[in-house]
């Protein structure tokens, strides 16, 4: 797993483009991935498959002709999805396009701008502080054009058609724990399950997709088949040596929730169990109210909670072979437990809409399948990848959208997210104006 990660680390990945293809090609040396190409412009629920982005080179040169920022030294230096540029500008103007983390002056941040056409560079705050007031040559040799979104899928047929889904994302550039750890562990699990497939009751499906838009695209294409998914996990941040964190499925009482919690208690190691929250990774889409799949997420140190997260410090020295091995073994034990319990359990779906008898405030999400694209309505931040999580207003939108399935009252949502009801109502009004929510 560590060797595979070392090979994948230098590749500049994004939500589309050749970096993803190269990554999937290398994974295909281990498991026979089915690679899908979905054309730019295809409508997937409320979203559109974006234009494809590729980059050859990028740098900033000072007046002496020295490259003071060089994409070839670290692909984190480029604001992911930057449009091409080639011009000379003064420091003041350049600064508007530079991103740093003053609190972690040695580290380069990871930033994206998938849906707003702009350009930018990321650098350590130490390097930023050294910039003189002079002219700089900025050069980005990138291309944004109609192409496709690429993802990989691997299916292992078991005795039953019921499926266990493992999903990880392949859109982050040189970052290890988030999420090459998920990629290499998924590959290793897929390999070992293939070898043992005759003994498997369940069928297994592995997804290697770009985060968010990949999950939305996959769900949109495979909507008819998702009923087969009996259990699932989003695999991310599994390569460090931190304690395990389990984020429960949306309902919180599915078989996978019970099995993983029991397993963590039995391990006698410190661990954290979190209730589902509608921010995070692709569980946001899989557990949107229109799907509500029994999919949880297992991590060690959770995204957003370790200081290396979304910076150049999340590198090959931050993750370890022991960390990967421990995560892999834990997942194998979880799979064995799911297999052993194959006959006994069945997930019960509970899709009733609550009758509103008590004059409670209840909203209904009018776009329940995956998140609506808040960005195109001006309701989302334009630069992605913030270390300190998303802003409170977006958090409120996501809580309202995820739990407004008719079954939860405003009071119940408020209790879950710890945002006062009167605050939530203000955000609900904005969603109502945007035809994303209605009062029932």
Which tokens sit at 418? Answer: 């710890």
What does the DSSP assignment read for 351-404?
Answer: -PPPP--S----EEESS-SS---SGGGT-S-SSB--TT---HHHHHHHHHHHHT
Q: Which tokens hold the place of 434?
A: 């945007």
Cis peptide before 306 (omega within 30 of 0): no
CA-to-CA distance for 185 and 324, rounded, in angstroms? 7
Closest CA to 47 of 372, 394, 437: 372
* Closest to Zn ion by CB, 251 or 395: 395
Residues 318-337 that bind Zn ion (CB under 5 A): none
Task: Kindly tell me which of 302 and 335 has the beta carbon lying closer to Zn ion.
Answer: 302
Considering beta carbons, is residue 170 or 424 the nearer one to Zn ion? 170
E strand residue ranges, 146-202: 148-156, 163-169
Q: Could you tell me which stretch among 33-41, 177-185, 270-278, 357-365 binds Zn ion (CB under 5 A)?
A: 177-185
Sole window of 176-184, 189-197, 345-353, 375-383 interacting with Zn ion (rule: CB under 5 A): 176-184
Q: Which segment (34-42, 89-97, 174-182, 213-221) binds Zn ion by CB under 5 A?
A: 174-182
Give me the least distance between CB of 12 and Zn ion, in Å please. 15
Whole-angstrom Cα distance, residue 432 to residue 434? 5
Evaluate the CA torsion angle 74, 77, 82, 87 in order and state its sign: negative
- Paired strand residues for 88: 137
- Using the minimum distance from each CB to Zn ion, give the nearer residue, 178 or 405: 178
Closer residue to Zn ion in complex, CB, 32/382: 382
Least distance to Zn ion from the beta carbon of 115, Å?
Answer: 16
- Pick the closer one to Zn ion by CB: 178 or 308: 178
* DSSP secondary structure string for all residues of 110-139: --B-SSS----EE--HHHHHT--SSEEEEE
Q: In the complex, what is the shortest distance from the CB of residue 175 to Zn ion, in angstroms, rounded to a whole number? A: 7
Smallest separation, CB 172 to Zn ion (Å): 6
Among 107, 178, 230, 240, binds Zn ion (CB under 5 A): 178
Residue 223 to residue 321: CA distance in whole angstroms: 37
Which of the stretches 173-181, 199-207, 289-297, 415-423 binds Zn ion when contact is defined by CB under 5 A? 173-181
In the complex, the smallest distance separating the C-beta of residue 45 from Zn ion, rounded to whole angstroms, is 22
Task: Identify the H or E element spanning 99.
Answer: strand 98-99
Question: Of 1-9, 71-79, 118-126, 170-178, which segment contacts Zn ion by CB under 5 A?
Answer: 170-178
* Per-residue interface string for the shown chain with Zn ion, residues 335-374, x marking contact by CB under 5 A: ----------------------------------------
Question: What is the helix, strand, coil percentage profile of the chain, to 5?
Answer: 30, 25, 45
| Binding of residue 314 to Zn ion (CB under 5 A) | no
Number of residues that bind Zn ion (CB under 5 A): 1
Minimum Å gap between C-beta 111 and Zn ion is 11
Nearer to Zn ion, 104 or 434 (CB): 104
Using Cβ positions, the residue closest to Zn ion within the complex turns out to be 178
Q: What number of other Cβ atoms are within 10 A of residue 42's Cβ?
A: 14
Binding site residues, Zn ion, CB under 5 A: 178
């Amino acid at each position: 797993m560590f060797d595979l990660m070392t090979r994948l680390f230098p590749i500049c990945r994004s939500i589309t483009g050749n970096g993803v293809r190269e990554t999937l090609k290398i994974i295909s040396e281990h498991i026979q991935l089915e690679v899908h190409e979905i054309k730019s412009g295809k409508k997937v629920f409320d979203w559109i498959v974006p234009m494809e982005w590729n980059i050859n080179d990028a740098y900033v040169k000072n007046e002496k002709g020295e490259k003071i920022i060089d994409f070839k030294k670290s692909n984190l230096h480029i604001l992911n999805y930057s449009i091409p540029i080639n011009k000379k500008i003064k420091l003041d103007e350049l600064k508007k396009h530079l991103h740093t983390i003053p609190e972690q002056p040695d580290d380069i941040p990871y930033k994206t701008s998938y849906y707003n056409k702009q350009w930018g560079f990321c650098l350590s705050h130490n390097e930023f502080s050294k910039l003189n007031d002079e002219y700089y040559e900025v050069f980005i040799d990138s291309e944004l054009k109609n192409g496709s979104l690429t993802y990989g899928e691997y299916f292992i047929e078991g005795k039953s058609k019921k499926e266990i889904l493992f999903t990880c994302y392949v859109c982050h550039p040189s970052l290890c724990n988030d999420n090459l750890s998920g990629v290499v562990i998924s590959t290793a699990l897929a390999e070992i399950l293939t070898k043992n497939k005759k003994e498997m009751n369940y069928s297994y499906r592995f997804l290697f997709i770009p985060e968010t838009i990949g999950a939305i695209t996959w769900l949109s294409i495979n909507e008819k088949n998702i009923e087969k998914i009996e259990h699932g996990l989003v695999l991310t941040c599994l390569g460090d040596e931190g304690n395990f964190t389990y984020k429960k499925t949306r309902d919180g009482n599915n078989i996978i929730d019970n099995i993983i919690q029991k397993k963590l208690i039995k391990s006698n190691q410190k661990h954290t169990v979190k209730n589902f929250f509608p921010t995070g990774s692709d569980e946001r889409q899989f557990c949107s109210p229109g799907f509500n799949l029994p999919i949880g997420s297992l991590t060690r140190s959770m995204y957003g909670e370790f200081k290396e997260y979304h910076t150049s410090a999340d590198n090959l020295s931050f993750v370890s072979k022991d960390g990967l091995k421990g995560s892999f073994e834990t997942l194998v034990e979880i799979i064995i437990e799911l297999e052993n319990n194959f006959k006994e359990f069945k997930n019960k779906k509970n899709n009733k809409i609550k009758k509103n008898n008590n004059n409670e405030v209840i909203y209904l999400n009018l776009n329940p399948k995956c998140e609506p694209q808040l960005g195109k309505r001006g309701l989302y931040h334009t630069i992605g990848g913030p270390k300190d999580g998303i802003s409170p207003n977006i958090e409120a939108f996501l809580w309202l959208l995820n739990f407004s399935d008719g079954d939860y009252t405003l009071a119940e949502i408020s209790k879950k997210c710890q945002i006062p009801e009167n605050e939530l109502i203000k955000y609900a009004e904005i969603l109502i104006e945007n035809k994303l929510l209605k009062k029932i």
